[in-house]
Structure 1
Amino acid sequence: MSAPLTPPPSPHDQAAAAYPHGKAGDAAYPGHGGWHEKDGPGMKTEMREAAVTAVAVALGGVLLGVLWWWLAPRVPLVGDVVGDNWVVFLKDSEGEQGIGVDGTFTLLSLAFGAVSALVVFLVRRRGGVPLVVALAAGGLLGSVLAWRLGVWLGPAQDVVAQARSAGKGVTFDAPLRLSAKGALLAWPFAALVVHLGLTGLFGPRDPEQLPPLEPYVSHGA
């Protein structure tokens, strides 16, 4: 009398025997590097946070403009009458006050870029492309806002009218001007460099994914 034939196990039964607790990638299996979850918030949330970040950083330009107007050196001018016309010229033709005006704006912008990058990193450690773009865009908008605000707070732009008001040979301050327009990029440049460095040093790390376990096959005698 012959023994009953046993049907071979199905592929599903073989996988269940090889991986009794499931395998990496399954919804209920944590894998070897942490639970398999959705990475970060949705794109709409990231875009909304990026917009808020850009606006908040740009508003810092108000403080930058006030500090630039307050700390920038003054460029002295003198008016004189030649014939029937007023002529305005530098009181100290070899002075470096004009360079100091641009330098003050650049140094303040670098400081604001570093501080804004640090604040954004502490608030949103996850980072992401939308956040980085918002940080750079906000820094650029803040620089432009600071530049225009400082010019508006400074002396009037009509130097001839100022010379007439001050009188012949009387020293008065030149309008606040930013000759080196490249200084407007100092804030976003510093913000990107500092944020990149902070993210690389202290940002979250992705869990290491180990290869799945190989099934154990017993070789009987």
Structure 2
Amino acid sequence: MANKILKPYLRKFVLQTHPDFFHHDKLRKTTNAASLQSLYDVLQPSTATAKQPKSTVKLEFFIKGQKKRDKNTVSSIFCSRDSDWDKADSFLKLCQQANIAVLPTDLEIVQDMVKKQALKLESVPKYKSLAKEFAEKLHKEQTSTPLKRDWTEKDIANQSLIMFDPSVNKKSTASKLSQWLPQLQPQLWWGKIPMLILASTSEQPPKELTKGMLVIRNDMELHDIQQYLEANLDEILKESSMQQ
């Protein structure tokens, strides 16, 4: 239906812009020839030779009867993602620039269809990427599945995000942590951010290397770890989210 409305206007537009009218002016002739071919491709995508613009294209035209010194053009922008009605609307505005009378009823029909299509697009559910769906599903599972109440040494030792300093007694440290874990807000960090357990004699690594990580020492008691989490957990969670 859009093509049917545009057909008489396209004929009138060609009579105002055809490159043959500018055979004494190379710039105007080549400009109009290239733009007119692109306009055919935009408005008639069903033809075998038609090539839609890859993204956005600005078409410029000189109008028949312009004075030689007048370098002004009429122009419009077309996008490959636009619907036929969007392109029809752009073309009718181009015709108006070229002083071609456009019937108010035709303009109203085109603009009404543009609005209807915009409303349809708003009502269509937006599809998420597979990566986003997976991340949301994983987060839902983690938050909906209650964490264990009875932790064991194996839970600590086998957690891939917990790293032990070589000087740390892994077995005894895992044993203590398994008892304290329910009181250390595991729902906020367990399985989400890394934890580094240092020996009491080891030097503190540079801050740049431990961003987004919990860093505790093997000689810390329960209240020490609780104070550390209270003071640092929010910032560490932010750092971890920025690195993902």
Q: TM-score per shorter chain, which class?
A: under 0.3
TM-score (norm 2): 0.21
TM-score (norm 1): 0.23
